[in-house]
Amino acid sequence: MKPAKTSKAWMKEHVNDFFVKQAKKEGYRSRAAYKLLDISERDHLLKSGMTVVDLGAAPGSWSQVVTKKIGNRGQVIALDILDMVPLPGVVFIQGDFREESILIELERNLKERQLDLVISDMSPNLSGIVISDQARSMHLAELALAFSMQHLNYGGSFLVKVFQGRGFEDYLSNMRKGFNKVLVRKPKASRDRSNELYLLGTGKKDLITEF
């Protein structure tokens, strides 16, 4: 079957993309690494010794960034339903983070360490149907928010990818209920045509409105 013109155009753009080339050069598993690096540098997000959970971590570029920033005193636990090639300094748990068995495994690996940061760059397999894709994307973001509210230490932070569209304003409102400050970020590595944004909640509140 002859490739569609849109697929050929995407592949050409991907191959010539600056951040794709940079990721290969610097050993990152995907160009998404530069989105986290951008946000981390701007907002001083990643600090030495932090304990971090990376939701939907595969293929692992965000976990790579985190391990370099937090050093040997820190801890990174990556979760995904997909398999992920092992990374030095990263504990990987394969499974659905909503399941009790996975949460038990997470707690076992935390070893009573307080969780400082939850990051989520999750995105569903896109169907091309805008309304459906938006709903599925927001559902993943909602699951990540619920996880962070349950497991983050008070004062902790939460970084999540969302897409502008239906449900965005409600989601932003919910984040503001749980965190002292919520910042909207569009990193340089995020393509201009994409409606993706990143929301950073800092200072998890002591009193949480039920989600």
d(CA 60, CA 88) in angstroms, rounded, equals 11
Structure tokens at 70: 């937090």
Q: Choose among 67, 55, 51: nearest CA to 114.
A: 51
| Residue 71 in marked binding region | no
Q: How many domains is the chain partitioned into structurally? A: 1
181 included as an active-site residue? no
In a domain, 192, yes or no: yes
In a domain, 210, yes or no: no
Q: Which of 24, 161, 177, 204 is catalytic?
A: 161
Q: Which pLDDT score, from 0 to 100, does residue 11 have? A: 47
Q: Which pLDDT score, from 0 to 100, does residue 125 have? A: 76
pTM of the model: 0.89
In a domain, 108, yes or no: yes
| Residue 96 in marked binding region | yes
Tell me the H-state helices in 18-93. Answer: 18-26, 33-43, 61-70
In a domain, 119, yes or no: yes
Per-residue 3-state assignment (H helix, E strand, C coil) for 48-59: CCCEEEEECCCC
Structure tokens at 180: 């002292």
| Residue 192 in marked binding region | no
Q: Which pLDDT score, from 0 to 100, does residue 14 have? A: 55
Q: Which pLDDT score, from 0 to 100, does residue 10 have? A: 41
Mean pLDDT by 10 residues, the chain (211 residues): 48 71 96 98 97 98 98 97 96 96 96 95 79 89 96 97 93 97 96 91 77 48
Domain range enclosing 92: 5-204
What's the CATH code of the domain at 121?
A: 3.40.50.150
Find the radius of gyration of the CA atoms of the chain.
Answer: 17
Beta strands 157-163; 75-80: pairing state: unpaired
